[in-house]
Amino acid sequence: MKKLVLAAILLALSSFALFGQNPEAEMKKARAAIKNFDIPTADAAYKAAMKLAIDEDEYKVIETEWKELEKINILLANGREALERREYDESVQKYKNAIAQMDASKQKVWGKVKGEAYYSMGMVLFRQEKPIEAAAEFKNAMTFDPQEQKFGKAIEMVRNKHYSEGHKFFKRKDYISAKAQYEIAVAVDPSFASGFYQLALIAKMDGDLNAAEGYYTKAVTSDPTHYKGWYGLGSLYYSMGNNNKAIESLKMSISINGTYEKAYYVLGQVYEAQKKDALAIQNLKKAVELDKSYRFAYELLAKIYIDQENFDATIALLKDLSGSATSQNTYYHLAHAYNKKSDFSSALSAATKSLARKKDWAPALIEKGDALKGLGREKDAVLAYRVAGKDARWKNVADYRIDELTKWEGK
């Protein structure tokens, strides 16, 4: 009976073929629609092709392709429905079955459909808090439909979620939890330089310099324009005593971002360690030019000037600083420079400001004593030196100053 009905349908529709209509054109249309992930158009085209079939064999060929599409479409729909019901394992299985069906198909038209299936499966896994597995499916999706931007954005979504979680733990100083989250971020996206940079910071804080070097290297390898990665690598090499590599890395950072003051500061540190004062001064001046409150750069620059006995330059550099640009060190250097220039009132003022930042700090007490001595206040100077002498590192200097004012003068 089924064959008779089919024959009647074919006979009734055969007149379309007499007018030159070809079912193959509709099948091509259907396949093209599948390639573009336009399932409704493909379904309609297959149904039109079946109506144009001129015999039972041709009808069965068309019907086989259409049923394959229908089966895959039902599996995808079932996967979506299971996801909405939060039946995640079932949803994943439906998508896997759809992909398996496409893999078994003789038609090479399933690229975008398969990409969508992998993407949907990735979203289910993401809901299940399986970030690495989810990212793997998003990457699979990209291989089948490289032009579809949402697949790459999905990977970024997973990566950024765990990177942000890492920051939350990092700010709370829970470095173990932060590290775990950053590790997920770079596992999801192995080209994520910022994730490797954060891992390097944690490794450095843990004292694992080899691991830190590895993470910094991965950061700049995955993204050669990551100037903070180059800066971190340069700073690490400086701390390890490898000045040549430090200079190379820091210069890379500056070449990428010429306004990154921290790179100039560390470069100044490296050159100062190498006794290349001119280069150190050049880079430290650039650092404070870019950041007017960069106290570490002011401190080191002042130290170099004092070592050079360039006290005028020290005073010019530090005298107008205030607020966050200053520290006990900057005022100490300023007091020392004023004492050397015999401006004892200014020296006393600077030393007092230094001691306000760090009470009973021996170096500033020595400068305070020298300023008081210069002002003719010997008794007050002796008191300052005695407090300074409580610091064993400065006892010899303090005792010498006291002897100058007492023992050797017969007082």
- Give Cβ neighbours of residue 162 (< 8 Å, ≥ 6 apart): 131, 181, 182, 184, 185, 188
φ/ψ of residue 189, rounded to 5? -130, 90
pLDDT tier at 247 (50, 70, 90 boundaries)? Answer: very high
Domain 1-147: homologous superfamily in CATH: Tetratricopeptide repeat domain (1.25.40.10)
Interval 52-86: pLDDT, tens: 988 898 999 999 999 999 999 999 999 999 999 99
What is the model's pTM?
0.82
The CATH number that domain 310-411 falls under is 1.25.40.10
pLDDT tier at 411 (50, 70, 90 boundaries)? Answer: very low
Percent of the chain scoring above 90 in pLDDT:
91
| pLDDT score at 407 | 77
Is residue 12 scored above 70 in pLDDT? Answer: no
The domain segmentation of the chain, as residue ranges, is 1-147, 310-411
| Cα–Cα distance, 231 to 260 (Å, whole number) | 9
Average pLDDT of the residues in 194-217 = 97
Among 277, 206, 204, smallest CA distance to 234 is for 204
Average pLDDT of the residues in 125-135 = 96
Output the average pLDDT for the chain: 93
| Cα–Cα distance, 174 to 4 (Å, whole number) | 76
Interval 15-50: pLDDT, tens: 444 444 689 999 999 999 999 999 999 999 999 999
| pLDDT score at 22 | 83
